[in-house]
Amino acid sequence: MSTGTPASQKIALEFKSTSLTVPVLLLASNDTSLVDQQLKEKVAQAPEFFKNSPLLIDLQKLNSQNLAIDVAEIVAVVRQHGFMPVGVRGGNDKQNSDALAMNLPQHSIHGSNAPLVNKAPAKTLPVPVQEESKEASPPVENKLITQPIRSGQRVYAKGDLIVTATVSAGAEIMAEGNIHIYGSLRGRALAGVLGNVDSRIFCSDLQAELISIAGIYQISDDLKHAAHKPVQISLDNQTLIIKDI
């Protein structure tokens, strides 16, 4: 019986596994002063967004081009900009042991989204510093709204947005993550506003003026077939999919 268990045998901890979304700094240059300067510009665009943000330093690209870099130096640079490095990946033995000496663990490159991000810089500006991957987000700040959202009101959530009341016609709700509405949705709902294509909208009564995920939208004229039903809306290859739930 558990009551008979001595105090020393009581369960005091447990190991669990979780997956986190962390911004990745993909280095494409070993010139630390250049990195320093471009980081500064990036951070200046959204100082609050990057403040005390965890950061994984990716050295894979540098090493594939045989560009040597001092881990201690780059860590000092990112810390200076308010980031909190939580590890390195894609480094060589020397870099990994240097990182370990600074209490920064080595992360496996396996299962990373490196290919996805490698493609991105080719399309966009030739910026050697890719401050984060597509899925990367700041510490999640979900928002819960229990009062009706009235016409003309706007609500923005940095994470998921959960509304347990009605969203009136003429109201606009936006979230960087998913949107859940447990009342009627009569206004506009925009999920994944920063481009998260995996975000979804769930609502128990769809009468929306407009729904959008990652910028792909449909207006109420297109939604007639799904109106007045509980649905979930997701994005599949640039097309909004509306399914009953």
* Nearest residue (CB) to other proteins, 94 versus 150: 150
* Nearest residue (CB) to other proteins, 120 versus 165: 165
* Nearest residue (CB) to other proteins, 25 versus 203: 203
Query: x-or-dash pattern for other proteins, window 162-181, by CB under 8 A?
Result: ---xx-xxxx----------
Query: Taking Cα atoms as reference points, which of 74, 38, 43, 68 lies closest to residue 56?
Result: 74
188 makes contact with other proteins (CB under 8 A): no
Query: Taking Cα atoms as reference points, which of 29, 62, 102 lies closest to residue 39?
Result: 29
80 makes contact with other proteins (CB under 8 A): no
In the list 40, 119, 150, 243, the residue contacting other proteins (rule: CB under 8 A) is: 150
Gap between the Cα atoms of 19 and 57, Å rounded: 17
Q: Which residues of 32-59 are buried (b: 16+ CB within 10 A; e: fewer)?
A: beebbebbeebbeeeeeebeebbbbbbb
* Nearest residue (CB) to other proteins, 26 versus 173: 173
Q: Of 5-13, 148-156, 195-203, 231-239, which segment contacts other proteins by CB under 8 A?
A: 148-156
Q: How far is the CB of 166 from other proteins (least distance, A)?
A: 6
206 makes contact with other proteins (CB under 8 A): no
Q: How far is the CB of 183 from other proteins (least distance, A)?
A: 8
Q: Are 214 and 237 in contact (CB under 8 A)?
A: no
Gap between the Cα atoms of 190 and 6, Å rounded: 54
CA-based angle 174:240:243, to the nearest 5? 100
Q: Which two tokens stand for residue 92?
A: 């060589």
Q: How far is the CB of 219 from other proteins (least distance, A)?
A: 18
Bridge partners (DSSP) of residue 205 are 184
Footprint on this chain of other proteins (rule: CB under 8 A): 147-153, 165-166, 168-171, 184, 186
